[in-house]
Structure 1
């Protein structure tokens, strides 16, 4: 009897539950639950819904259990690949993802406005091509100076739309191959001690005063030199009277029309710092790194030097690379056994100018060499055409 009853029950149609857009949803999000029954000969069903239990009345079999997870407000995370520091022409991809969920999202992209009002309120400006669909990627095949900025992303799904919070702020800095202005830093290094004076000057060939020194810090966002604590600008020179760790950030020169040039990452640190060049190093040149400490005289320490976290030279007062190549590009820092470790600095390597000049010279030489042959060919074609026109029919 029990076997017959089980066979009858097994022949009953089975219901199926689906949840859209995902089994992981967020507080405040609209969640449609759908129950379907695949059965022939029956046009209408009465549906009963159960939460956390399997008993109830009905003719069909119960569906399999489906877990619905509800979290607090959805959070997006923004990252960059391959790196945040680029040279003009490099490819870059911004990756946006919703923590713990990947289904049904449409992503939008924004930049942090470079104009901040008196109350330091940050505004987000949507990119002209901000809507990127479900892929969560914004790719630039060839970076331009205009792509320098601070980016955030957000996502939405459903109808009515459920919107996530804005993501973390992700800076992206593009260095020009030959920018019209240079940011000159005194002392001439990217890492600096606390409680010292720091000078930053925007210098171009005409020595004009049309440049403003600006910066972006995690604490204050984008701001002019005159807004820095202890900062003042005279002409195109910005002076910070007494540095603090809050001055750590990216500094650049901005034109009167709002164009941004020559971003430099500056770190202010209490303790050991790395002395490294401000500007990109050209292939073939010599690179010298030193480990400095403000409370010894002279301030140069014998230390270990690291590239991308790996030890490359130990117990030396300076690390020298006599002939730099592109493979030497990376993050460098130094470490002293007693005094501590410096922050990391990115050292960029650009192509040799001489090689570029040789390439251009080769092209010009080839064109000039071909000119006589091209000229003779044109003359012959012209004469041939004239002779044909004079030949009687």
Structure 2
């Protein structure tokens, strides 16, 4: 066997018997080519120039040749795959590298690529992003760390204020609604936008059924009607004489067998179920409970009967007086004053 160079060499062989030293002919030459161990190359594909926490990046491992099975290592974790692409979700700063293996041979590890996560600012709205006029709203710009730098606030793509990470809007108006974003001083990355919706605070209307005179023992239904709002689920708060008496998911408040104690001024307020919004309080509606209809009819009948009796007595007395006066004023003729015949 001849020496082997760094690149390639010709190799031949022959046999020799130990017993008599007889040698065979030299074999034909075989060229042995020794290639340098390939080194994997790792590339990182991202949609933007910065990698933000929680984003998914695509890692590609490129090894010369075919038939490789790839080993990925990011931080302390290793994963094998037949695919040359590997997707990783970035949660913190970490170093990644790869290599390819086939049969018992492996390439060299690639150079490590460090994935440095950048924290993208995030805007949150408290108590919620849909509010009514007059509410107080707090905008919070979460930058993931304390920077000590100025926070810029934008509304509908126009910078509105330079301040701190918390921005409070008091007594909001409809015009305060819009798309809000924030950014950190000397950084180009803006947060995703958050829409703030401000609606006029609705005012309920209370309807009473029956809407006429209510008598003791009847059933009365009060309905709290709230219109012109995007709230889909309300809780209804009922008040009597400014004191809370009932809360339910139904807009109807039913009073069975009313009595005089139910007489009073009723109003309602809507509260968003699972939210923070309240409506105005409705105007008050007065509920007056009278005697029962039967008693009312009896009393009315008695009064009517007494009235008829009184009128009858009055007319009889008047008739008697007329007759008496007529009898007293009639002319009478005396015989003493009759004319004499001559």
Instruction: Output the TM-score relative to the length of structure 2.
Output: 0.34
Instruction: Output the TM-score relative to the length of structure 1.
Output: 0.30
